[in-house]
Amino acid sequence: MLEASLAEKVFVMTGYPEYTYVEREEIDITMQTALRDKGTHIYLIGESKSGKSSLWAKYLSLEERLEPIIITRQTTIENLYNDIFKRLRSFMRFNAIQL
């Protein structure tokens, strides 16, 4: 039973992988600085399995975490802006004024 418990802690499916996270001082400092600057957009760019989601999970609790926008090679600028706008609408109140 102890082995299963340890394996679950090492091979996490969600959240911060405490045992396997690789510290990268420069990247961690950059992330901390970006999070302190309110209104900053943060882009995590890297190869698959390079630690983007783990970095995100390390610095943001589940309550604070917004769903990231996943950008692939097939993503167009129009798709990106539409996705951003849809998400903004859920946080902002818009007043329509008919002229």
Backbone dihedral angles phi then psi of residue 97, each to the nearest 5 degrees? -120, 115
The residue whose two tokens read 């961690």 is 28
pLDDT in tens, 62-91: 556 666 777 888 989 999 888 888 877 766
Contact 54, 45 (CB under 8 A): no
Domain ranges of the chain: 2-67
- Of 44, 93, 87, the residue nearest 66 (C-alpha): 87
pTM above 0.85, yes or no: no
Query: Whole-angstrom Cα distance, residue 10 to residue 4?
Result: 10
Contact 61, 88 (CB under 8 A): no
Q: Is the pLDDT at 98 greater than 70, yes or no? A: no
